[in-house]
Amino acid sequence: MKAVLALAKCFALSSVREWDALFWFWLFPALLLALLGAAFGGVERGEMELRVILAAAEKSSLAQALLQSFREMAKGAGPSLRVEILTGVDLTRVRKEVEGGEAQAALFIPFDFSAELLAGGKASVQILYRRGEAGSSAAASFLQEFVEEFGLALLQGEGFLSRKIPVEMREVGGEARPLRYVDFLLPGVLLMALFVYGLFSVPSAIVRAKEVGLLKRYFASPLSKGGYLLGFSLSALLVNAFQVFLVVVLGRLAFGVRLPFLRPESLGFLFLGFAISLGLGFLVSAFSRTYQGAMAWASLLNLPLQFLGGLYFPLTAMPKVLRPFMAANPLTHLAEGLRASLGLSTPVYPLWLSLLVLFLWLCGTFAFSACALGRKDEGFFRPLFCSV
């Protein structure tokens, strides 16, 4: 274990001794956040995807008419508005959905609402939305306007000219803070830092070691291949942890970004980002015989995966023709999952699908890398079921 820790220390120190590595892997993520945050940090996000729930505890004709009318109206709003209709449910379930971030707002029609309304009672519908989130506030306002217009038209048709459907607004969950572009950007910059380090720094060190014959000497020593990769992984974890800390502190001090990164689910997605980026770096190293070849492979993957992963812009802004590539991109699911865990947005893809895609990428990159690294041909592709 001492040899593994010594190797990890050596790799970590080497990342600060070279000026290009010091800039690109340590300083560039913070610089990118500073530049984009200064330029767009105070601007609220424009187009965003909203997921709303329409729930009714009763199955009256009035409730069904309201739900159906909203569903028809929402079809014209495009893919930015997703509507889920639930009937025969109670307020507790609806509140849990909104508090947990599964939906940004919900309209709840209580039991006996129709009878009390038409009888002149104090019945009201309830609109629940997450506290301090721009998307939730927009969805709640949208629901309120619709209920008021629907109620006005319906009640006038019934002869109740001076009556309207009462609406009760409730804030649940969330945190009291506005959503700005810099809030949206910060998780993307963190994932970019992890991704770029894994994709460029890992192949740079490993392939250079192969070129000068150092990798063979490592494997000829008592240090095993697993120990070598573990030491390299520990050094990468140390550097990435510093990168995350630096970017988060800069975002907090310079732009007032206060995101709950210490949530278990947020830390989980950051660790998945680290592991998948490391696996991609090992995979590029396994395919590459020369340093130039490794950098060519890394450059080929870098920008397409970043910009099709929604790190800097919402996925809804992307053309439809690119969406199949986005769905297969691990950065897409990392960014969606991380932002959802921070309460910034409702993910486009369900959680089980995101975790499945990330699991396949994680297993695939490490399995292929383990089969190829350290072989006699020094890095050419080998079948998945080869022996290590």
Same domain, 246 and 292: yes
| 189 and 135 in a common domain | no
Mean pLDDT computed over 6-22: 64
Asked if residue 165 lies in contact with residue 125, where contact means CB atoms within 8 angstroms, the answer is yes
Same domain, 135 and 236: no
Instruction: For 71-121, write each residue's pLDDT tens digit.
Output: 776 665 544 567 888 877 888 888 888 887 778 788 888 877 777 776 766
Residue 381 lies in a domain: no
Strand ranges, E, within the chain = 50-56, 81-87, 105-109, 125-131, 167-174
Pair (132, 204) in one structural domain: no
Q: CA 365, CA 375: separation in Å to the nearest integer?
A: 16
How many CB atoms are closer than 10 A to CB 14? 14
**Token output for 158:** 């019934």
Question: Do 37 and 56 belong to one domain?
Answer: no
255-268 pLDDT, tens digit each = 888 888 888 889 99
Both 154 and 295 in a single domain? no
Q: Give pLDDT, residue 58.
A: 75
Most confident of 65-69, 300-304, 368-372: 300-304
State the pLDDT at residue 155.
56
385 inside domain: no
The residue out of 174, 191, 207 marking a domain boundary is: 174
Question: Tell me, what's the pLDDT at 132?
Answer: 59
**Is the model's pLDDT at 277 over the cut of 50?**
yes
Cα(281)–Cα(193) distance, rounded to whole angstroms? 13
Same domain? 184 vs 114: no
Between these two residues, 40 and 72, which has the higher pLDDT value? 72
* Residue 197 and residue 57 share a domain: no
At 337, which helix (H) or strand (E)?
helix 330-341
Answer yes or no: is pLDDT of 35 > 50: yes
CA distance 314 to 334: 13
Give the separation between CA 351 and CA 336, rounded to whole angstroms: 9
Residue 51: Cβ-neighbour burial (10 angstroms; 0-12, 13-18, 19+): buried
Residue 380 belongs to a domain: no
How far is Cα 74 from Cα 86, in angstroms, rounded to an integer? 16
**CATH number of residue 105's parent domain:** 3.40.1710.10
Which DSSP string corresponds to 154-196?
A: HHHHTT-TT----EEEEEEEE-S----HHHHHHHHHHHHHHHH
Which pLDDT score is estimated for 128?
86
d(CA 220, CA 350): 46
Report the pLDDT value the prediction gives residue 152, as an integer from 0 to 100. Answer: 67
Q: Please tell me the predicted confidence (pLDDT) of residue 270.
A: 95
- pLDDT score of 268: 94
pLDDT digits (tens, 9 = 90+) for 207-241: 888 787 777 776 666 667 677 778 878 888 988 89
- Taking the C-alpha atoms of residue 104 and residue 339, their distance in angstroms, rounded to an integer, is 13
Q: pLDDT tier at 280 (50, 70, 90 boundaries)?
A: very high
Identify the pLDDT of residue 45: 46
Q: In the 8-state DSSP scheme, what is residue 374?
A: T
Query: How far is 87 from 347, CA to CA, in rounded Å?
Result: 24
CA-to-CA distance for 225 and 2, rounded, in angstroms? 15
Count of domains observed in the chain: 2
Closest by Cα among 169, 241, 166, 228 to 202: 228
Residue 98 lies in a domain: yes
DSSP for 253-283 reads HHH-----TTSHHHHHHHHHHHHHHHHHHHH
| In a domain? residue 384 | no
pTM: 0.64
43 band by pLDDT with thresholds 50, 70 and 90: very low
Asked if residue 104 lies in contact with residue 135, where contact means CB atoms within 8 angstroms, the answer is yes
User: Do 263 and 350 fall into the same domain?
Assistant: yes
pLDDT at 328: 93
CA distance 218 to 299: 28
Average pLDDT, the chain: 76
Both 86 and 128 in a single domain?
yes
In a domain, 388, yes or no: no
Reported as a pLDDT band with limits 50, 70 and 90, residue 356 is very high
Helix (H, G, I), strand (E, B) or coil at 109: strand
**144-173 confidence digits (pLDDT tens):** 777 777 766 665 555 544 456 777 887 776
Q: By residue range, what is the domain housing residue 117? A: 50-174
Among 101, 99, 103, 100, which Cα is nearest to 54's?
Answer: 103
pLDDT of residue 34: 77
285 and 229 in a common domain: yes
Which residues neighbour 332 within 8 Å (Cβ) at sequence distance 6 or greater? Answer: 308, 309, 310, 315, 326, 349
- Do 38 and 127 have their domain in common? no
Helices 181-196 and 225-255: angle between axes, nearest 10 degrees: 160
Per residue in 289-345, pLDDT tens? 888 888 888 888 988 899 888 888 777 666 778 888 889 999 999 998 998 888 777
Strand bridging mode 105-109 / 125-131 = antiparallel
Q: Rounded to the nearest 10 degrees, what angle do helices 351-372 and 264-287 cross at?
A: 30
Give pLDDT tens digits for 286-301.
Answer: 888 888 888 888 888 9
Name the band, by pLDDT with cuts 50, 70 and 90, for residue 7.
low
- Which CB contacts under 8 angstroms, 24+ apart, belong to 157-164? 158/118, 160/118, 163/117, 163/120
